[in-house]
Chain A
Amino acid sequence: MTATTLYGLCAAALVGLGLYGLICHPGALRKILAFNLLGGGVFLLFGVIAQRGGGALTAAGLGADSDPVPQALVITGLVVAFAATAIAVGLLRRLAEASRQTTLYQAPPEQKS
C-alpha cells in the first residue's frame, strides 16, 4: 500500500466519523466540530486525487508534486468552510443568548390522557 492510498482510507474514515458526530451529538457546537471533521475528510480525498495526478508537473520542472486544480479548489473550500463555521457559531451564540440552550432539542408536549 502506498502512502497516498493510506491517506485516502484515513480520509474515508474521517468522513464516517464526522457524519456520525453530526447526526448523534445533541450539542450544536459538537455538530459544528463534527461538520468540520467531515469537511476535512472530503478535502483530504481531494488531496489524494490531486497527488495521484501530479506527475506531469514534476516532469515539467514546476516543483509541485500534485495536480494544482484540486489544490486550488481545496484552498477555496477551506476559506468558505471557515466563513460557514463563523456563521454557525454566531447563530449558536445568539440561540444560547436568547433561549439559554445550546441544542435544537424541544421537550415533547405533555400527553393529555
Chain B
Amino acid sequence: MSLALAADVVLALLILGLAIWTIAASETYGAVVGFVAYGLLVALVWVRLGSVDVAMTEAALGSGLTGLLLLGAAAHLAPLEAAEGRGRPGPGLRLLVGALCVAVTAGLAAVVLSLPEPAPTLAPAVAEHLATLGVKNPVTGVLLGYRAVDTLLETVVLVPALVAVWALATDPAWGGRPASPGPKVPGSALTLLAQTLPPFGILVGIHLLWIGADAPGGKFQGAVVLAAMWVLVLMAGLRRPPALAGRPLRWLIVLGALVFIAIGLSGVWLAGAFLAYPEGLAKPLILAIEIVLTPSLAVILGLLLLGPPVADRGPGA
C-alpha cells in the first residue's frame, strides 16, 4: 500500500468515525462540533478528488456557515433537549431501519464498485469550447457558460429561501432586526479578531472572486468569505444586524438575480437564445455577472444565517 493510499484510508476512517459520532452523540452540541470537524475533513477529500473549487465551498459553506448556524441553534435549544427521548423508536424498529440503511449503503457501494470503464465524461466537451468563453477555470465555464441556467435558478431560489426565513417572524417583529448572533463582550479576543481580520478577509474574498475565471475560486467562494467577515463583525457586537425593512438592503438582495436575468434576456436579442453570450462579449458579461452576484450572495447568505427578525429588545436580545 502506497503512502498516499494509507493517508486516504486514515482520512476516510476519520470521516466515518466523525459521522458516526455526529449520529450517535448523546448531546446535540457535541454532535454539531463533530459535524464541523467532519466538514473540514471532507474538504480535504475534495482536494484529493481534484475538485479544489468544491473543497473551498465545502470548507467555507458546508462546514463553516452551516456549522455556525447549527451551533447557534443547538446552544439555543439545549434546555429543551431532555424531552426528546419520548419520540425515540423502539429497538426492533431501529434494528429494521438500520438493516434497510445498510442495504442502501450496500447498493451504493455495489454501484461504486461497478462504475463503467472508461468513465463517461463531459470534460472533453467542456475543454473544447472553453476558449470561446475566455475563462480558464473549467468549473467557472460550466457555472456561467454551459449550465448558466442552473446557476441562475439557484441564485433566484436563494431569494424565496430568505423570504421563507423572514416569514417565520412574529407580526410585530416584521421588518425589524434579526437577533445579534453573539453576546456582546467588549474587549474580548473576539472583538480584536473582528477588528483586525475583516480587511484581510474582504481582500481574500475579492481575490477569490477575481481569480475565479482562471483558477479555483469564484463568486460563491468569495461571497461566503465576505459573508463570514460580516457575521464575524456582528458576532463581536461591533455592528448591529440591519433592519430588514430597509430599501437599499432589499435592492441589494435582488440585484444579483435581476442583473443575471437581464443579461440572460438580452442574449435572446443579441445572440438568439436565453443566456447566450454574444460573440467576443462572453468574458466581460461573465465578469459582470460574477461581480454583481457576489455582494448579493454575501448579503443573502449572511441574512440566512442571522435568521428571522425579532422584536427589537436592544443589543444581544
Chain A residues close to B by CB (< 8 Å):
1-21, 23-27, 29-30, 32-34, 36-37, 40, 43-45, 47-57, 60, 62-69, 71-76, 78-87, 89-94, 96, 100-105, 107
Nearest 7 CB-CB pairings of A with B: A53-B121, A105-B87, A65-B50, A16-B105, A26-B87, A8-B112, A12-B108
A-B CB contacts (within 8 Å), total count: 302
Residue B57 interfacial (CB < 8 Å) = yes
Question: Smallest Cβ distance from A43 to chain B, in angstroms?
Answer: 8
Given A3-B4, A3-B8, also A9-B112 (CB < 8 A):
yes
Return chain B residues, CB-CB under 8 Å to A8: 109, 112-113, 115
Given contacts A17-B23, A102-B81, contact A71 B112 (CB under 8 A): no
Q: Looking at the assembled complex, report how far the CB atom of A44 sits from the nearest CB atom of chain B, in whole angstroms.
A: 7
| Chain A residues within an 8 Å CB radius of B139 | 64, 68, 71-72, 75
For this complex, 15 residue pairs linking A to B, each with C-beta atoms less than 8 Å apart, are A13-B105, A17-B19, A17-B20, A26-B84, A47-B54, A55-B123, A57-B127, A63-B215, A75-B143, A76-B150, A79-B297, A79-B301, A82-B61, A93-B168, A102-B81
In the complex, chain B residues whose CB is within 8 Å of the CB of A68: 122-123, 126, 138-139, 141-142
Report how far A50 CA is from B127 CA in the complex, Å: 14
Chain A hits for B308, CB < 8 A: 90, 94
**Assuming the A-B contacts A21-B23, A62-B130, A103-B87, are A48 and B49 also in contact, with contact meaning beta carbons closer than 8 angstroms in the complex?**
yes
Given A37-B19, A69-B142, A54-B80 contact (CB < 8 Å): no
CB–CB A79/B158 < 8 A: yes
The reply to whether B4 and A75 contact each other, CB–CB distance below 8 Å, is: no
CA gap between A15 and B73 in the complex, in Å: 24
Q: Is the interface of B mostly helix, strand, loop or mixed?
A: helix
What CA separation (Å) do A72 and B139 show in the bound complex?
Answer: 6
B77 at the interface (CB under 8 A from A): yes
Residues of B within 8 A of A (CB): 4-5, 8-9, 12, 15-16, 19-20, 22-23, 28, 31-32, 35, 38-39, 42, 45-46, 48-54, 57-58, 61-62, 65-66, 69-70, 73-74, 76-77, 80-81, 83-89, 94, 97-98, 101-102, 104-106, 108-109, 111-113, 115, 119-124, 126-127, 130, 136-139, 141-143, 146-147, 150-151, 154, 157-158, 161-162, 164-165, 168, 215-216, 218, 220, 297, 301, 304-305, 307-308
Q: Which residues of A contact B164 (CB under 8 A)?
A: 87, 90
Cα of A72 to Cα of B122 in the assembled complex, Å: 12
CB-CB < 8 A to B66: which residues of A?
36, 81-82, 85
Other contacts beyond A8-B109, A75-B54, A79-B301: 6, CB < 8 A = A4-B49, A13-B19, A16-B104, A20-B101, A53-B121, A90-B307
Complex partner residue of B54 from A21, A71, A81, CB under 8 angstroms: A71
Mostly helix, strand, loop or mixed at chain A's interface? helix
Given A34-B23, A87-B164, decide whether A3 and B5 contact each other with a Cβ distance below 8 A.
yes
| Known contacts A57-B138, A81-B62; is-contact A17 B51 (Cβ 8 Å) | no
* Residue pair B168, A91 in contact (C-beta under 8 Å): yes
Tell whether, in the assembled complex, residue A90 and residue B165 are in contact, meaning their CB atoms are under 8 Å apart.
yes
In the complex formed, the residue of B with least CB distance to A60 is B127
If A57-B127, A62-B130 touch, whether A72 touches B142 (CB-CB below 8 Å) is yes
Taking a contact as CB atoms under 8 Å apart, the answer to whether A94 and B168 are in contact is yes
In the bound complex, residues from chain B placing their C-beta under 8 Å from that of A47 are 45-46, 49, 51, 54
